[in-house]
Chains A and B, each alone.
Chain A
Amino acid sequence: MSDVDPAALLSPGAIRLAERAADRTEAIRLTGQALVDCGAVEPAYVPAMLEREESVSTYIGEGVAIPHATLAGKDAVLRDALCFLRFPDGVDWAGSQVNVCIGIAAKGDGHVDILAELAQILIDPERAAALRAAESAETVLAMLTPAPEETPEPTEEGER
């Protein structure tokens, strides 16, 4: 539905593949800082991300968390954007191990297609493992770019 260029939402500078964090709080701060650095949010967005994590964890499975702010933090969003931080050594996320943080800043729905693609990756353990192991920004972007023929849905949705 949106014609947003994935590379504009997830800029090369916002893909960081060798991050290291002692704990979840530090990982969220780094994720928030990446959004600040690419001009997507004001610094006030970061505490709102930590606040959100306190109420409901953004861990979504397969070693991936999607830190983002509460509704209150939306005012600090300058433009829709994502960032991708890979933690090769993992971060303890209240008992789960996280290797990838995908930070979200959104006022609108520009990022929806990429998150939909992420959901499709994460329900396939092999693709999820490939995403966690991605060694280049190109690979990350290619994996998260929605396939063009996806709209008409030519394949039969298999019942498992």
Chain B
Amino acid sequence: MTTIDGTTVKKLVVACDAGMGSSVMLASTVRKQLAKNGVTVEHTSVQEIPGDADVILTHAGLAERARGVAGGTPVVAFNLFLGDPAVTKVVTAIQKGQTIDV
């Protein structure tokens, strides 16, 4: 269990296996949702997760691999590429400056 303080998130990374498909889609929707919050949203392959990410979103099937390269950065797993509640929770926490458990 980790906590995410929405006020401290500056860079959110969406990771998938190749970084060319699903992560691109999800990153584009999250980027729009967080456009007014000054958060950088990037998409990447799991292997290339940048060290300065504050939160990592990844598919449940890739979460273990992501945690392996994430260091202490919180990894939030999702199952749906559109409208996943776990993603919504993180987005809302950033928008409203809330602290959440993930």
What is the interface of chain A, defined by CB distance below 8 A to chain B?
52, 55-56, 58, 60-62, 66, 68-71, 73-74, 104-106, 111-112, 115-116, 118-120, 122-123, 153, 157
Contact of A119 among B25, B35, B61 (CB under 8 A): B25
Give every chain B residue within 8 A of A116 (Cβ-Cβ).
24-25, 28-29, 31
A61-B24 CB under 8 A given contacts A56-B16, A71-B18, A71-B47: no
With A and B bound together, what is the CA distance between A119 and B14 in angstroms? 15
Nearest 6 pairs between A and B by C-beta? A116-B28, A106-B20, A60-B81, A68-B21, A56-B61, A61-B82
A-contact 0/1 string along B70-82, CB 8 Å cutoff: 0000000000111
Extra A-B contacts (4), CB below 8 Å, given A55-B17, A68-B21, A116-B24? A60-B81, A61-B82, A153-B35, A157-B35
Give every chain B residue within 8 A of A52 (Cβ-Cβ).
17-18
Contact of B20 among A68, A119, A122, A123 (CB under 8 A): A68
A contact patch SS:
mixed
With A and B bound together, what is the CA distance between A70 and B61 in angstroms? 13
B50 within 8 A of A: no
Give every chain B residue within 8 A of A74 (Cβ-Cβ).
18, 20
A-contact 0/1 string along B33-48, CB 8 Å cutoff: 1011000000101010
- A60:B82 contact, CB within 8 angstroms: yes
B19 within 8 A of A: yes
